[in-house]
């Protein structure tokens, strides 16, 4: 689970340039653009995996992409004020998995930094209104689905 403290630390690492530089783009600019245009913002594979697991665990009373102010959590339990976000390791700078892009840095760094700052802002806003905010990395959902469902189940009581 991602804490606000960790998100702030990651934002600081971006700001001061402490990054892993071991990623090289294998595709042309046109091919990379085509690939990136196909990335979905909702109903992603990890969202389906987690929703299926929650359904099997009888945690079925959730809403998908339900708006709270301008924020759209991936899964929301309105009756318990629980908002769940599933953050992709690349787009949200996972400290374990993130590999910094070598090409087009002027584009990527501001974009990723904006994502992280938005995550911090949204988390703090929801918490200020007494929401419980759960953030899970893509790799957590893929590698430890039972643990993720267990943490959600524990919060929901």
* Euclidean distance between CA atoms 23 and 14, whole angstroms: 16
Query: What average pLDDT does the structure give for the chain?
Result: 81
Model confidence at 113, in pLDDT bands (50, 70, 90)? confident
Q: Residue 17 in 3-state DSSP?
A: coil
pLDDT of residue 18: 56
Residue 106 pLDDT > 90 = no
pLDDT of residue 145: 94
Encode pLDDT of 25-81 as tens digits: 576 777 767 766 666 566 788 888 999 999 999 998 888 777 788 888 999 999 899
pLDDT of residue 98: 78
Q: Residue 35 in 3-state DSSP?
A: helix
- Which stretches of 20-122 are assigned E, i.e. beta strand? 63-64, 75-77, 82-87
Question: What percent of the chain is modeled with pLDDT above 70?
Answer: 78
- Architecture per CATH, domain 4-16+42-156, reads as 3-Layer(aba) Sandwich (3.40)
Answer with the residue of higher pLDDT: 94 or 85: 85
The single-letter DSSP state of residue 23 is B
pTM of the predicted protein model: 0.71
What torsion, rounded to 10 degrees, do the Cα atoms 72, 74, 78, 79 define? -170
Model confidence at 96, in pLDDT bands (50, 70, 90)? confident
Q: Residue 11 in 3-state DSSP?
A: helix
pLDDT of residue 143: 93
């Amino acid at each position: 689970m991602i804490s606000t403290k960790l998100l702030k630390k990651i934002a600081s690492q971006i700001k001061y340039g402490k990054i892993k530089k071991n990623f090289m783009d294998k595709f042309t600019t046109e091919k990379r653009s085509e690939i990136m245009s196909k990335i979905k913002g909702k109903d992603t594979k990890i969202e389906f995996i987690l929703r299926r697991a929650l359904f099997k665990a009888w945690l079925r009373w959730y809403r998908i992409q339900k708006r709270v102010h301008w924020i759209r959590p991936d899964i929301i339990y309105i009756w318990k004020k629980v908002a769940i976000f599933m953050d992709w390791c690349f787009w949200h700078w996972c400290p374990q998995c993130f590999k910094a892009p070598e090409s087009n840095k002027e584009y990527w760094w501001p974009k990723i930094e904006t994502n992280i700052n938005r995550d911090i802002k949204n988390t703090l806003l929801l918490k200020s209104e007494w929401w419980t905010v759960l953030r899970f990395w893509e790799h957590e959902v893929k590698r430890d689905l039972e643990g993720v469902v267990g943490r959600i189940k524990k919060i929901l009581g």
